[in-house]
Structure 1
Amino acid sequence: MNEYFAEFIGTFLLILLGNGVVANVVLKDTKGNNSGWIVITFGWGMAVFIAVFIVGQFSGAHINPAVTFGLALSGLFEWSKVIQYIIAQMAGAMLGAYTIYLFYLDHFKRTQDGELKKACFCTTPAISNRFNNLFSEIIGTFVLVFAVLYMSKPLLEIDGIESARVGLGALDALPVGLLVFGIGLSLGGTTGYAINPARDLGPRLVYSFLPIRKNAKTDWNYGIIPVFGPLIGAAIATAIFLYIK
């Protein structure tokens, strides 16, 4: 499988299953309605596990621009591929979000609360405080990228640059899923832990042109936080990783 297509498929699966569990919990008349935060965080952890397990051997399963950015800063990924990876991740995230809309269409129609419908696409802070919200995304992504840097396995060397690939089998992918599960349980309560610019921006873009958006604003003023927060967190994680390496 081509590595860019792998990132597209991996991020598509991440959003399909991750936003899918949110829709199953919050939308009206689903089998999982009101099953709670533990179900959402576990579902996201499993979404990461499945995506990494499937595409890790082909692309390294970054499925997150912050991870791609962090690995490139650390020297474990080629800068020449960063833009292509991010484009593939964004496209996969957007397709995953639109698929969830089609999949749960009847339930979107029955749900009156616009904020619940919006939650199936992008994150919203529990308490709106831009500084604290940014801090939450920075710290959550710091934990993610710092751990991923230690999990990454440099398998290939291209033009003198080692290429990190995360996850080659079930036992390699499971720690990444558990990592995201743990971040969600411990650090996800403030902003919904985007910790991934594509995970929030791609679905937010899709939400912005769907007919259900009239029930709750897209809120682009907040939308920059789950983009820049994770990138800052990734940069800090990489700097500390390189310092103590």
Structure 2
Amino acid sequence: MIYYFENLMRHCGLKYGICKEFLAEFLGTFVLVLFGCGSVAQTVLSRNQLGEPLTVHIGFSVGLMMGVYVAGGVSGGHVNPAVSLAMVILGKLKIWKFPIYVIAQFLGAFAGAAAVFGLYYDAFMDFTSGILSVTGINATGHIFASYPARHLSILGGFIDQVVGTGMLVLCILAIIDGGNIGAPKGMEPLAIGLIIMAIGVSMGLNCGYPLNPARDLGPRMFTAVAGWGFEVFSTAGYWWWIPVAGPMVGGVVAAVLYYLLIEMHHKRDAPEKSDDEEEEEDEDEDEDSSLKDKYEMILMN
């Protein structure tokens, strides 16, 4: 029986690394959205009886932590196109893998939103009386995607996303940087989850800290086809592109700043010399010593 299962796993196992990375990013992002959007759904649909803002912060923090634990050993656990783009810029991810990672992340977020909707379908119908809307007293669109507060302008929202995502990527780069203090092996996802907690309690007022194009646009696309309609894109002056473009810019800015201010100043170990180079140096030293001996003999005479 054991031989049968080992043989089955050998035949079913993927041979190409990029396929494994695709599945890892898909599942990691799915976990992030399921826990994150699920915590928002529980808070909203219970009318704050089984949740509060801190509940949402914990949901997304633990969701990201577990998503990175799920995918980290296979793909690095980016679960965010902005993080993947930063890794491309720093040479930590091959550029041809970038679109594959992004597609996996969007599909994972879409599937996570679908899972939340299916899990709470009866609660949605009871809360909304079957009318799914983005605005109004029984609005539920914000369970899945971000929408701006009344005071927030388009420019303010864009800056909010650039700064928030920039801090996320900057701290992630510090955590995984072997030349910096870093985090103990295996504790990196926990530290990354704490970053989201810090951002949530300090930068969540404006639009709820989406910070992730896949996490926002994937569920938004799900709501568009699941009954909320095109309103999910047109609301708030077509806000939808802000949590997509802003995080990408923030990721690039953070990658450049971290490299210029931190990473490029690490002490670099001298490159190891080949055997031929070492032999040449030994020969040169022997020649120098012999010439020195001859010079000393001439002086003595």
Superposition TM-score, scaled by structure 2 size: 0.72
Structure ID, larger Rg: 2
Which consecutive residues of structure 2, in runs of 5 or more, have no partner in the other structure? Answer: 1-13, 15-19, 264-301
Which consecutive residues of structure 1, in runs of 5 or more, have no partner in the other structure? Answer: 155-165
Q: Which residue of 2 aligns with 1:185?
A: 201
Q: Which residue of 1 aligns with 2:39?
A: 21
Q: Which residue of 2 aligns with 1:144?
A: 168
Q: Which residue of 2 aligns with 1:162?
A: none
Match of 1:35 among 44, 51, 54: 51
Match of 2:133 among 114, 119, 129: 114
Match of 1:176 among 192, 195, 198: 192
Q: Which residue of 2 aligns with 1:102?
A: 118
Distance 1:191 1:140 in 2: 11
Deviation at 1:168, TM superposition (A): 6.2
Tell me the matched-pair count: 229
Residue identity (%):
31
Within a 5 Å distance, the mapping from 1:157-236 to structure 2 comes to: 169=186, 171-211=187-227, 213=228, 217-220=231-234, 221-236=238-253
Check if 1:52 corresponds to 2:71. Answer: no
Deviation at 1:28, TM superposition (A): 3.8
Distance 2:196 2:231 in 1: 28
Distance 2:232 2:223 in 1: 7
Deviation at 1:20, TM superposition (A): 0.4
Check if 1:125 corresponds to 2:148. Answer: yes
Letter in structure 2 aligned against 1:150:
A
Other structure's SS at 1:192 match = coil
Deviation at 1:108, TM superposition (A): 0.7
Other structure's SS at 1:193 match = coil
Deviation at 1:167, TM superposition (A): 9.4
Match of 1:134 among 158, 162, 172: 158
Letter in structure 2 aligned against 1:9:
L
Deviation at 1:153, TM superposition (A): 5.2
Q: Which residue of 1 aligns with 2:255?
A: 238
Distance 2:184 2:163 in 1: 23
Other structure's SS at 1:114 match = coil
Q: Give the structure with the higher percent strand.
A: 1
Q: Which residue of 1 aligns with 2:267?
A: none
Other structure's SS at 2:207 match = coil
Q: Closer, same or farther in 2 for the Cα pair 1:99/1:167, shift >3 Å?
A: farther
User: How large is the Cα RMSD of the aligned pairs?
Assistant: 2.0
Distance 1:15 1:97 in 2: 6
Letter in structure 2 aligned against 1:238:
A
The 10-residue stretch of structure 1 (111-120 or 187-196) with the greater mean CA deviation from structure 2 = 111-120
Greater RCO structure (CA 8 Å; 6+ sep): 1
Q: Which residue of 2 aligns with 1:77?
A: 93
Distance 2:184 2:215 in 1: 20
Q: Closer, same or farther in 2 for the Cα pair 1:146/1:18, shift >3 Å?
A: same
Distance 2:86 2:113 in 1: 25
Superposition TM-score, scaled by structure 1 size: 0.88
Distance 1:23 1:33 in 2: 12
